[in-house]
Chain A
C-alpha cells in the first residue's frame, strides 16, 4: 500500500493517556493495525509537554508525527496540553487527535476551538475501538501528508 521509498522511517506517535488499561488496549490495537507506527506513551499532561520539548529524560526522543491526546489527564488536562501545543510555534504543526471517552458537546467544541485536528470518541465495543484505531493509523500514515 505504501509506495516504496516514500517513507524511510516509522511514523512516530505520542500517546498521552493515564489509564493503563486503555494504554495497553491502544498498543494492542496499533499492533494489529501495522508495524509501521511506533507508539510512545506518557501518562500525564506535564510529561507530554516535557516530551515534546525534549526536556530532562526526553532529550533524545524523536519528534512525534502525530499526537493521540486523552482529555481526562492528571496534573494538566488534555485541553491545557492542547492549548500549549497549538500556541507553541515549534509544536503547533504536529497533528493532534483527541481520543477520549467523553462525547460531551462542550468537550468537542472546546477541542476544535483550541485547534485540535480531529476529535474521536472511543467506542465502547472492542471491535469498534480496534476499527477506529485502524482508521486513524491508516489515515495519518497513508492518506495524510505530514509536515516535515
Chain B
C-alpha cells in the first residue's frame, strides 16, 4: 500500500467509528444475503459490462468475500487495516476484470455504481430507525471509493502498458514470422515454377506424345504433341480416358498393357492412335509406373512408327516378291531340267540313230553335219545343266554348318582327279580351317576355281596352291595358279554369267562356272575377286565371314 491516502483516525470521529462498529456487527450474519441482492441489482443495472461467462452465484461469492473483508476490520475499529484490505481487494478485482482485455468495459463509473447499489441494499436492510449508522457508513464509503479510484487508475495504467507491450511484441514477432514464411514460400514457388518450366520444355520437345495418368485413367499431364496429334484440346483431354484413343483389338491390347504397367512396373504396346477426325496413326507406346503426389501413376511416351511400318511393309512385300521370284526360278529349273532337255535329247538321239542306221550310205559331209549337230546339242545340254546349277545355288542351298575345309578340298580334288592326271598338275594347300558354311557349295566353289586353274593352263604343267588365313572377322581363301592369266580389264566381267574371254575352240565351256562361284560366295555373305598378270598366273580370292560354329541353322535368306 504505497498510496497517499490512508484511512486514519482523522477521517472519522469517535461516534462515527462506534456506529460503524455496531453496523458491522449487525451486518455480519446477513453478509451472504446482502452480497446476493447487491450482485443481482448490479448485473441488472449494467448488463453490458459483465462478461457472458460470469454467473450470478460467482459474482455473489466474490461480493460476499468483499463484504467480509470490509466488515471484519470495522468490527475491531482498525481503520488502517480496513483501507489496506479494501485497496488490495479492489486491485485484485480490477486486474481480474482487465485481464487479457485492455479495452474491457469495466469502467470506474461501474465501480461507483456498484458502491451506490451496495449502500442502497444495506440501507434497506437496516430500516429508517438506524439512519445514524447508515450516514456513518456512507461517509466511510466515500473514503473507500477514493481508494477504488486509485486502485483502478493504477491497474488501468499498468494493464494498458502491459497490453501495449505485449501487443507490440506480438506484432513484431508475427511480422518477422510472416516475412520468414513468405520468403520461403516465394522461394519454393519460384523453384516449382523453374522445375515446371524445365520439365515442360523437356516434354514439349519430345519427338512423340507424352502422357501421365493415374490409376483411375485420369490424365494429369500431357505435352503439346499430344494435343496436336490427337486434335483434342487440353480441356477435352482432361475429361478423357487413355482408352478413348483406341478401337477394337488395339483397345484390348492397350488396356492389357496398362494393367501390366500397374502390376509389373512397365510395359510397351504397339497400336493405332486415333485422332479426333478419325485418323489412325501407328504408334509405339511405353509405360512406366511412377508415384506422383502419393498416388501410383503411369508415365510414358508414344512414337509415331508410320515410317517404320511402311518400311516393314515394303520389306515384307519385297521378301514376298523375292520368295515368288525364287519359286519362279525353281519352276524354271524344273522346266529346264525336264521339258527343255527332252526335245534336245530327241534331237541328239535321232541324229545318232540316223548315223547308226545309214552310216554306209552317208558321205563325208553328211557325217560331219551330223557330228556338228550332236556337238551343238551337247553344248546346249551343258548350258542347261550349268544354268540349272546356277539357279539352284540360291534355291537348293543347305544350311550353314561346321565345315572342314580340308575334307571339302579333298572331295573337290577327287572329282578333278582325271583333269589333274591329264595335265600333270601339282596342287598344294595350307592347313585349312573348319568354318561355318554349306559344305556342298564350298566343295563346288573350290572345285570350280581349281578346275579353272587346270583348264586355263599355259605351256608348263599347272601348279596350284590353295591358301587360307583369318583376317579379323573373315576367312580369306585364295587359289593361285601359274596359268595364262587374265587381262585386268576383264577382272569384273569374268564373274558375269555366260561371259567368256576365249573362243570355244581353245577353251570349251559355258561361262557359268565363275558366276556360280560368285553366287555361292555371296550367299555366304562374302565377296570374290581376281588378281592376275597376263601370262604369269592368276589368284582367285574369296572371303567368308567367321560364323559361330554351334549355330547350325544360320541359313542365308533363300
A residues touching B (Cβ–Cβ < 8 Å)? 19, 21-22, 25, 28, 72, 101-102, 124-127, 129
Contact = CB atoms under 8 A, between A and B. Distances in A.
Contacts of A125: 348, 352
B353 A101 contact: no
Interface string B134-161: 0000000000000000000000000000
Given A72-B338, A124-B381, A101 B345 contact: yes
Contacts of B338: 72, 101-102
A79 to B, nearest CB: 15
A126 B346 contact: no
Interface of B: 338, 341-343, 345-346, 348-350, 352-353, 356, 381
Contacts of A25: 346, 349-350, 353
B350 A21 contact: yes
A102 B239 CA distance: 74
B353 A124 contact: no
Nearest to B344: A124
A126 B349 contact: yes
A108 to B, nearest CB: 15
Nearest to A104: B337
A124 B346 CA distance: 9
Interface of B is mostly: helix
Contacts of B343: 21
Nearest to B357: A28
Contacts of A21: 342-343, 345-346, 349-350
Closest 5 CB pairs of A and B: A21-B346, A126-B352, A126-B349, A25-B349, A124-B345
Nearest to B351: A126
B200 to A, nearest CB: 69
A6 B459 CA distance: 64
Contacts of B349: 21, 25, 126, 129
A25 B342 CA distance: 12
Contact of A126 (B341, B342, B353, B381): B353
B440 to A, nearest CB: 14
A28 B352 CA distance: 12
Q: Which of A72, A125, A126 has the most CB of B within 10 A?
A: A126
Contacts of A22: 342, 346
A28 B353 contact: yes
A72 B343 CA distance: 15
Contacts of B348: 124-126
- Residue from B345, B346, B352, B381 with most neighbouring chain A CB atoms (10 Å): B345
A127 B345 CA distance: 12
7 contacts: A21-B345, A21-B349, A25-B349, A101-B345, A124-B345, A126-B348, A126-B349
Contacts of B353: 25, 28, 126
Given A19-B346, A21-B343, 9 more contacts: A21-B342, A22-B342, A22-B346, A25-B346, A25-B350, A28-B353, A125-B352, A126-B352, A127-B352
